Amino acid sequence: MRTRSLTLAVVLFAMAVSGCRKHRGHAGAPKDVTPSVATDLRDRARKTSRAFAILRSLTDEVGPRMSGTPGDARAVDWALAKMKSLGLVNVRAERVMVPHWERGEGSGSIVAPVQQSLILTALGGSVGTPEGGLEAEVLAVPSLQALEDLPADKVRGKIVFFDKPMARTRDGSGYGKAVDVRGKGAIAASKKGAIAVLIRSVGTGPARLPHTGALRYVDDVPKIPAAALALPDADLLRRTLERGPARVKLNLGCKQLDDAPSANVVGEVTGSETPDELVLLGAHLDSWDLGTGAVDDGAGVAAVLEAARLISELPRRPRRTVRVVLFANEEAGLRGAIEYAKVHKDELPKHTMALEIDLGAGRVYGVHYLAGPSSGPGFQAIAAPLRVLGVAPPIASEHHGADLWPLRAAGVPLVDLAQDATKYFDLHHTADDTLDKVDPGDLDHVVAATTAFAFGAADTTADFGRIPEDKRK
């Protein structure tokens, strides 16, 4: 299965899936789509989008907003105010308790055979090192399997270094293939008696900035600290190990605090005919702490807010309600997404479609859908106005944003506007995730595609069915 796999959760879910079966629609196309309005919206979005200004406001006035932190709380206030000012209605914060983790100071160095600083950062959720840090010989392995194949006495007392590179691809699939060491490396290494984990950052950029991201622990395996090395530092450690044994010192001041309140922030454009039917436009409000979350996922937040604003200003609103959901805590647990599905359980049958924008401002090149078996013609119809943006016709696929997993489990039809991820993983989860990295023209392209598609989805009377049981996970 190919998957965008934006979070550990996605990867873990994905592993349970086998094969990629495509559903191509075969029922007749609906007759009531209003392509001229969608086309006008698309062109208006490209000319008058305010998405970059929204993104600037979020990144400059709120900045980093890791779940549970004061920045997260400021982001919730910002989102409530911004939705209201953009003309959305039924604006509210739906409370969610989220993990609250503190990175603290982190440092590392090779101490033998020569002293060299290493630029690294803790993986999200890592425990800290003991007071004064820890120091041990390093054991490099290229994969979880390679570690698995080693006897425990080769691993015991060492720092395991997962040196697994990520490939650069347009569809971001290199990420899913490399990220397992981040999510599961600490568990696997601890089981063999290692005292800490280093990973080559799961990213593609040459800059000396490490990529953080969530790890997992399980209750019955001792929690050991884990950090990501910037790619040049992973290279240095690899080359040093090629010359002989090496020892590393590691100091991480991480702390897991009590869960803290956050919120999914929700606002709507009420449908004109069947307002109880919903099209969900999602993005996630939280970010990592190192950058200002401009690409992950400020761009998505700006795109869905601007799409809703453009739709809300139409002289005639679409039939169905467009609901914007800015999810809490996508990065470290999907607590917002899980809570949304729980709180809105009774309403999920009325969610006719959900999509999430969470791959920065990469231009849209395709439409992926996971829906009922007769849904193809409906998707073809509402995606038609995207053709002039260079977007290929919709295809059945299991790609989708991470926050949509709980909706998938409930059968809600999912859409993914496939975005160009070629450069996304240069920045992802690093300090370099800042406003200057977002091209306004690219962002407006995403807004145009999102707006036209969302309008079509909300204005059609087509029924996209439900995801078949065997695809719900």
Q: Is residue 445 helix, strand or coil?
A: helix
Among 34, 116, 143, 461, binds a copy of itself (CB under 8 A): 116
In the numeric block, the tokens 């307002």 are attached to 275
Name which of 201 and 430 has its Cβ closer to a copy of itself. Answer: 430
Q: Contacting a copy of itself (CB under 8 A), which of 53, 111, 114, 221?
A: 114
Which residue, among 430, 422, 8, 5, has the nearest Cα to 231 in the 3D structure?
430
Q: Decide: is 299 part of the binding site for a copy of itself (CB under 8 A).
A: no
Interface with a copy of itself includes 362 (CB under 8 A)?
Answer: no
Alpha-carbon gap, residue 412 to 356, rounded angstroms: 13
Contact residues for 218 (Cβ-Cβ < 8 A; gap 6+): 187
- Nearest-approach distance from CB 447 to a copy of itself, in angstroms: 21
Question: Contact letters (x/-) for a copy of itself, 182-211, by CB under 8 A?
Answer: ------------------------xxxx--
Among 135, 277, 432, 444, binds a copy of itself (CB under 8 A): 432
Token pair 């290493």 in the structure block, residue: 118
Judged by beta carbon, residue 53 or residue 392, the one nearer a copy of itself is 53
268 to 297, contacts with a copy of itself by CB under 8 A?
291-292
Contacts of 229 (CB under 8 A, 6+ apart): 108, 118, 119, 120, 198, 199, 200, 201, 210, 237
Residues written for the chain: 473
Among 56, 170, 191, 223, binds a copy of itself (CB under 8 A): 56
The correct pick among 437, 448, 452, 464 for binding a copy of itself (CB under 8 A) is: 437
Tell me how far, at minimum, the Cβ of 435 lies from a copy of itself, in Å.
7
Rounded least distance, CB 289 to a copy of itself, Å: 9
- Of 442, 358, 451, 437, the residue nearest 404 (C-alpha): 358
Report if residue 431 touches a copy of itself, rule: CB under 8 A: yes
Please name which of 86, 98, 85, 25 lies closest in space to residue 285, comparing C-alpha atoms.
98
CB-CB contact of 453 with 382 (8 Å): yes
Among 49, 129, 201, 240, binds a copy of itself (CB under 8 A): 240
Q: Indicate the residue among 252 and 415 with the shorter CB distance to a copy of itself.
A: 252
Which residue has 């109880």 as its token pair? 276
Size of the site for a copy of itself (CB under 8 A): 33
Instruction: By CB under 8 A, name the one of 117, 157, 349, 392 that touches a copy of itself.
Output: 117
Segment contacting a copy of itself by CB under 8 A, of 111-119, 193-201, 350-358, 456-464:
111-119
Q: Is 165 in the site for a copy of itself (CB under 8 A)?
A: no
User: Under the criterion CB under 8 A, does residue 140 sit at the interface with a copy of itself?
Assistant: no
CA torsion, ordered 36, 42, 45, 47, to nearest 10 deg: -80
Give the closest residue to 102 by CA, choosing from 425, 434, 433, 332: 332
Beta strands in 298-445 (DSSP E): 320-327, 351-356, 364-370, 395-396, 414-419
Residues of the shown chain interacting with a copy of itself in the complex, contacts defined by CB under 8 A: 56, 60-64, 70, 74, 114-117, 119, 206-209, 231-232, 235-236, 239-240, 243, 291-292, 430-432, 434-437
